[in-house]
Amino acid sequence: MTAEETHQTSEPPSAPETPNTPPILVDPQRARVVARQIATTLREKSLPNVFRIVLYCGEEQAWAWLDKTQEIEAQGGMMTRNGKRRRTAGGVYFQVAKHHLYHHNKALFRFVFRPNLNQQVGKKKRPTATAPTTPAPQIGWPQRGKLIEQARTQIPRGRATTVKVTLIGKLGKTIEKPQFTLAMMSNVPRLDTMPKGLPIPDKVPATQYIIYIGAKQWRKVREAVTNPDDMVIIEGTQFWDQEYESIAVFASNITTKLTQQALRESHEA
């Protein structure tokens, strides 16, 4: 089941004040707001990095890199350098920003992504001796049952107070009714996107989503979703629909990438 939980992120630091500090392009208070919006969209916990991008690269550029990230994610994502797994959305965002800065402004690249180097130029780190460790045995997907049974006996059990889902992609055929519109989407997560160390199954089945969109919400995007170059973004509450073996999603907000882009441009105008 694909669920997006609200992550709390640490407050970004104030803009650093050093002789080599590049010019600030966005008011720090505004930069914090934009950084939180971008970090929440990416489900990225490293808010200080996003904050520095907005502060020193500009709000327009920060949003443009988010658009590029979402395009890459929609096309299958980006692999890590060793090719063993898919990067997180935040990892893709930082990689897009790093690639641009490295080829256009290496000084800004170092300042944004390696802030410690600005204060430790010429300092050498002393190597620390570490004791050799024996790697723990890998737990496979078939062995998860024993762990689940152990977790079920724990009291008190964990309780999620907020669970949200975000669907980004293309809608298939829609069924319009006076009160709401019904649509379906499916997703097959790639095995190489899963974090290292997790018990990975040999095969992951497709997850089916049945989406219920209120009439008012649907009117906002009805024309936009017909654009083949656009992608819908749906946020909502989910639950397992046992009868149809699908995840039911009640949309609380729906928009499209191009709609968001146009809105940002109108605010900047």
The answer to whether 101 touches 111, Cβ cutoff 8 Å, is no
Determine the Cα–Cα distance for residues 13 and 52; give it in Å rounded to an integer.
Answer: 9
Structure tokens at 105: 């402004």
pLDDT at 174: 93
For the chain, how many residues are written?
Answer: 269
Does CATH number 2.40.50.140 belong to domain 164-265?
yes
pLDDT at 195: 73
HSE-CB for 3 with a 13 A CA cutoff: 15
pLDDT band at 17 (very low <50, low <70, confident <90, very high): very low
pLDDT at 246: 95
pLDDT at 141: 87
Q: Model confidence over 233-258: pLDDT tens digits?
A: 999 999 999 999 999 999 999 999 88
Determine the Cα–Cα distance for residues 142 and 4; give it in Å rounded to an integer.
Answer: 26
**Distance, CA of 70 to chain centre:** 9
What's the start-to-end Cα distance of the chain, in Å? 41
* Portions of the chain given CATH number 2.40.50.140: 164-265
Please give the share of the chain, as a percent, with pLDDT higher than 90: 30
Residue 267, classed as helix, strand or coil, is helix
Determine the Cα–Cα distance for residues 53 and 75; give it in Å rounded to an integer.
Answer: 24
Once rounded to an integer, what is the mean pLDDT over residues 207-220?
A: 95
Q: Is 111 exposed, middle or buried (0-12, 13-18, 19+ CB in 10 A)?
A: buried
* Portions of the chain given CATH number 1.10.10.1440: 28-120
Q: Model confidence over 54-86: pLDDT tens digits?
A: 999 999 999 999 999 988 888 888 888 887 788
Taking the alpha carbons of 97, 103, 108, 110 in that order, is the dihedral positive or negative? positive
Strand (E) or helix (H) holding 210: strand 207-214
Once rounded to an integer, what is the mean pLDDT over residues 36-45?
A: 89
Strands (E), 215-245: 232-241
Tokens 């979703």 identify what position? 225
In the 8-state DSSP scheme, what is residue 124? -
Right CATH for 28-120 from 1.10.10.10, 1.10.3720.10, 3.90.1010.10, 1.10.10.1440: 1.10.10.1440
The torsion angles phi and psi of 125, rounded to 5 degrees, stand at -85, 135
The average confidence (pLDDT) of the chain is 82
Percent helix, strand, coil in the chain, to 5, is: 40, 20, 40
> Is pLDDT of 39 > 60?
yes
